[in-house]
Structure 1
Amino acid sequence: MRAAIFTIDSGAYKAKAESAAASALKRMLEQVGLEVKAAGLLPQEREVVSSVMRQLSDSGSVELILTTGATGYMEGDCAPDALSDVAECMLPGIPEALRAYNLRYSKKAVLDRMAAGIRKGTLIINLPESAKTAKEDMEYILPEVVQVVENINL
């Protein structure tokens, strides 16, 4: 399975900084045998994020796109909106399960707007900005992620 990972953070994008969350996810995915074809930063601009998701999905170059960050309710938090712009099928159970899982640590998890959906054989999932939480969330749902990707690409 081929994946792409993007952190959505305008400040880090402008500073050309490293993303701890993307790095943690990349290591974790590679350890379980997934190939990370792209990883990087994107500005908090809905049109840019949706364009990248659309391009990667439509090209067939990856079967999984993970984003970290920009899942809250503040201005600029556009990851779930960008995903809903491009998804052909939303998968509300994934973010619902992750929010419930994250409530173990913080009641603030109820404020997260993570989303998940499918576009042209590509599963797209928004994850939190925290490297620790994003990695733990992905580990929690990895078997289901693999199953979804295998099923939509039969």
Structure 2
Amino acid sequence: MEFRVGILTLSDKGSKGERVDTSAPGLRDLLTEKLGDSFRVEAYEIIPDDRLTIEAKLKSWSDELRLNLILTTGGTGVAPRDVTPDATLNVIEKQVPGMAEAMRYASLQKTPMAVISRAVAGIRGQTLIINLPGSPKGARESLEAILAALPHALEKILGDPADCAPNP
């Protein structure tokens, strides 16, 4: 199965051209390295850390572009402009807390600062939205923590009726 992906970078400086985005290319490369051609990045954008702008983009990419997966990078901490999780919670219909917990757990093995991540994961329609940190290293490590589960999760979101585990 092939999945359509969007990568949305949240950065005030990046959206003004004052900072080069290295997180999104790293995420795209990781998807290709680990999952091959089954994950195809079809949308990419850098927008400011503005809650309403983020909400509008997540809705558009989910409802109009009908992407299967949206990875956000940036704005997951506790700074005043870190509003990505808040915007995500406003647009999703269901949370997938295990993904956010797994990312925080994996990150905590590397830095005690992982405890201040507010990243969330959830579903809007048939789109899985996952918040990742803004740092290239943190974004990549967080995605690696859940990468193996992504194909199965997306198949289930799309309505795959198969059992998750075969009966003995």
With normalisation by structure 2, the TM-score equals 0.87
- Secondary structure in structure 1 of the residue aligned to 2:20: coil
Deviates more, 1:44-53 or 1:126-135: 126-135
- Measure the CA separation in 2 of the matches of 1:17 and 1:142: 27
Identify unmatched segments of 5+ residues in structure 1. Answer: none
* Cα pair distance change 1:93/1:18, threshold 3 Å: same
Partner of 2:51: 46
1:125 to 119, 122, 130: 130
Aligned position for 1:13 = 15
CA contact (8 A) 1:7 1:67 kept: yes
The offset of 1:20, in angstroms, is 0.6
Which stretch shows the higher mean deviation, 131-140 or 35-44? 131-140
In terms of Rg, which structure is larger? 2
Aligned equivalent of 2:118:
113
Q: Distance in 1 between matches of 2:90 and 2:31?
A: 26
Cα distance in 2 for residues equivalent to 1:37 and 1:58 = 15
Instruction: Answer yes or no: is the 8 Å Cα contact 1:19–1:40 preserved in 2.
Output: no
Q: Which amino acid aligns with 2:66?
A: S
**Following the alignment from structure 1 to structure 2, what is the Cα–Cα distance between the partners of residues 76 and 102?**
22
CA distance in 1, matches of 2:141, 2:45: 20
TM-score by length of 1: 0.95
Deviation at 1:136, TM superposition (A): 2.0
Kindly state the Cα deviation for residue 68 of structure 1 after the two structures are TM-superposed: 0.7
Q: C-alpha distance in 2, partners of 1:111/1:21?
A: 19
Paired residues, number? 154
Q: Which amino acid in 1 is paired with 2:96?
A: L
Equivalent position SS for 1:15: coil
Partner of 1:59: 64
Amino acid at match of 1:21: S
Q: Distance in 1 between matches of 2:19 and 2:46?
A: 8
Gaps of 5+ in 2: 160-168
Deviation at 1:142, TM superposition (A): 1.1
Q: What is the deviation of 1:17?
A: 4.1
Task: State whether structure 2 residue 97 is matched by structure 1 residue 88.
Answer: no
Give the ranges of 4+ consecutive aligned residues of structure 1 lying more than 3 Å apart after TM superposition.
none
**Identity rate, percent:** 36
CA 1:11–1:60 in structure 2 vs 1: closer, same or farther (change >3 Å)?
Answer: closer
Q: 1:22, 1:40 within 8 Å by CA — same for their partners in 2? A: no
Cross-structure match for 2:26: 24
Contact 1:22 1:68 (8 Å CA) reproduced = yes
Quote the RMSD (CA, aligned, Å): 1.2
| Counterpart residue number, 1:73 | 78
CA distance in 2, matches of 1:40, 1:86: 18
Deviation track 1:58-83 (CA, whole Å, cap 9, x = no partner) reads 12531000001100111110110010
